[in-house]
Amino acid sequence: MAQYGLDVDSRERVNRWSHQWSRESGAKKNQISQALPRTQKRRTGTPFTACLAHAEITLCGNKIHRIRGYFEHNEARKAALFERAPLFPFHPSVYSTALEQLRDGASFSDVRLKNRREYRDFRRDHCDSSKSRFHWILEQDSRSLYHQYNRLKGVTVADAPEVNIGSDKFNATLAHAVFHYSARASRERFEVAVATDDMNRAAWTYHEGRIILDGTCGVCDSRVLLFMVVDENRKGVPVAFLLFSAPTGNKQSSLGYDTKILVHLLRKWVDSLNKCVHLHGRPASAITDTDLKERAALIIILPGIWLLICRFR
């Protein structure tokens, strides 16, 4: 899309076209999503004139299969004047700098902090800020930024996790790190548990100390359960990522986030470690938030463990 100048994420802020209706068809039939005109906050510079001009682009993989539509604006649209200043697109270097940070594991807050610092540095060296290559990255720009980042990784966010797991871009390292996988079936969840060899070695080395459990990280309609241990430098080291979706019929993973699924995944993790090296002893303590489901699951799998409340909660 970007090669042919049809990248919606980078062009939507400055064009005279507005998104009024869309239809997506995939594996599920009759999967239709409609978007009404944005009456609360309109970003385009011109008023809405009920112009019928539209373009329909059909993609097959990463190639454009067909372009059709009605490409003539009505007279009201042609005569429309700008009511508000349109948002100008970022210079490509702004996105390239932000994407490099995301590849290095930076958060969106870190991206915005560096962006503001570079903008101030430019204004300090140049009087005319309108020619600046750097513009502030706002909160609403995260959508476009993360879409570009996901495309670089070969991940289609419009597809469900169970579809992405079968990508044609096979990664042998990731496949070897998956110690538990359950495909989505009728009345079942989609489950993936990941731990690399380095993560397993960290678990074997530090498992008798302190572990940290955090299950508050939501990814789309799924949830990631993060396990970390504390090393000799008092730094957190991840030892397992447990990803699971909401049960079939639930739209949000929080509706199916219970002690039962946590016990199931924690037992899978402990069993996978014992298959390689039997764990002598158990963790002395665990740090969680005030979530009773997480605390109950830890007590069931690791009886006698001391549970500590995270000081930042």
**pLDDT tens by residue, 125-159:** 665 655 555 567 777 778 888 888 888 877 776 66
Whether 184 shows a pLDDT value over 80: the answer reads no
Q: Kindly calculate the radius of gyration of the chain based on its CA atoms and give it in whole angstroms.
A: 24
pTM above threshold 0.95: no
Q: Count other C-beta atoms under 10 Å from residue 85's C-beta.
A: 7
Which of the two residues, 246 and 254, has the higher pLDDT score? 246
5 contacts 67 by C-beta, under 8 angstroms: no
Question: Taking residues 264-270, what's their average pLDDT?
Answer: 87
And the tokens for 310? Answer: 């995270």
DSSP states of 191-214: EEEE--HHHHHHHHHHTTSEEEEE
Q: Count other C-beta atoms under 10 Å from residue 34's C-beta.
A: 8
Q: What are phi and psi of 79, to 5 degrees?
A: -90, 0
Q: By C-alpha distance, which of 219, 214, 273 is closest to 243?
A: 219
Question: Taking residues 32-51, what's their average pLDDT?
Answer: 62
Question: Taking residues 299-312, what's their average pLDDT?
Answer: 77
User: Hey, CA dihedral for 89, 93, 99, 105, is it positive or negative?
Assistant: negative
Whether 232 shows a pLDDT value over 70: the answer reads yes
In whole angstroms, what is the distance from residue 155 CA to residue 117 CA?
30
% of the chain with per-residue pLDDT over 70: 63
In whole angstroms, what is the distance from residue 156 CA to residue 26 CA?
13
In whole angstroms, what is the distance from residue 162 CA to residue 167 CA?
10
193: CB partners within 8 A, 6+ apart: 178, 179, 180, 181, 240, 241, 242, 243, 265, 268, 269, 272
User: How would residue 71 be classed by pLDDT, with cut points 50, 70 and 90?
Assistant: very high
Q: Which amino acid is at 297?
A: A
154: CB partners within 8 A, 6+ apart: 167, 169
Beta strands at 191-194 and 178-182: parallel, antiparallel or unpaired: antiparallel
Question: Taking residues 23-33, what's their average pLDDT?
Answer: 48
